């Protein structure tokens, strides 16, 4: 048996963990965006509420971009390949 199959590089493992955590956060963020669009389409929000939700989501998006940048991650790094099910997050 070869001993070189698993590369135990601590730095790489830390980076993978950050990417995984940010992927989950990104999934939740995108679900919130979807839910917001659905509620706007249903028409049960006031203009003021729409504006506030939009602003909050926009700030979250910016914060995510900052976090990605800090950890040297591209948007496409935050995703999981689920094999036959496709990817966790939609790809552009």
Partner 1 sequence: MTMIQDTALTYVFAVCRPSGERTAAALGGLAGVGPPAPVRTLAMGPLTAVVQDVPAADYAEEALRQRLSDRAELERCARAHHEVITAAMAAAPTVPLPLATLYRGDERTREALRAREDSLLTALDRITGRVEWGVKVYALAGQPATPASAPGAAAATGRAYLEQIRSRRRGREERQGAALRAAERVDTVVRGLAVAARRLRLHGAEVTGPRRTHVLNAAYLMDRGRERQLRAALASLGRDEEAVEIELSGPWAPYSFADGGTPP
d(CA 87, CA 92): 11
Does residue 79 bind partner 1 (CB under 8 A)? yes
Instruction: Please choose, out of 10-18, 19-27, 78-86, the segment that lies near partner 1 by the rule CB under 8 A.
Output: 78-86
Residue 10 structure tokens: 């601590």
d(CA 27, CA 87): 11
| Residue of 19, 27, 40, 73 interacting with partner 1 (CB under 8 A) | 40
Contact string (CB under 8 A) for partner 1, positions 47-66, x = contact: x--xxxxxxxxx--x---x-
Does residue 31 bind partner 1 (CB under 8 A)? no
- The alpha helices in 6-46, defined as continuous H runs, are 10-42
Does residue 37 bind partner 1 (CB under 8 A)? yes
Residue 32: closest CA among 9, 3, 60: 60
CB-based contact 42:67 (threshold 8 Å): no
> For binding to partner 1 (CB under 8 A), which residues are involved?
1-2, 33, 36-37, 40, 47, 50-58, 61, 65, 75-76, 79, 81-84, 86-87, 90-92
């Amino acid at each position: 048996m070869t001993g070189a199959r698993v590369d135990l590089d601590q730095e790489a493992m830390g980076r993978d963990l950050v990417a995984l955590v940010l992927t989950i956060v990104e999934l939740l963020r995108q679900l919130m965006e979807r839910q917001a669009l659905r509620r706007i389409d249903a028409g049960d929000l006031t203009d003021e509420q729409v504006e506030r939700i939009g602003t909050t989501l926009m700030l979250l998006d910016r914060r995510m971009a900052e976090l990605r940048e800090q950890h040297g991650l591209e948007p496409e790094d935050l995703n999981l390949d689920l094999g036959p099910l496709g990817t966790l997050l939609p790809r552009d």
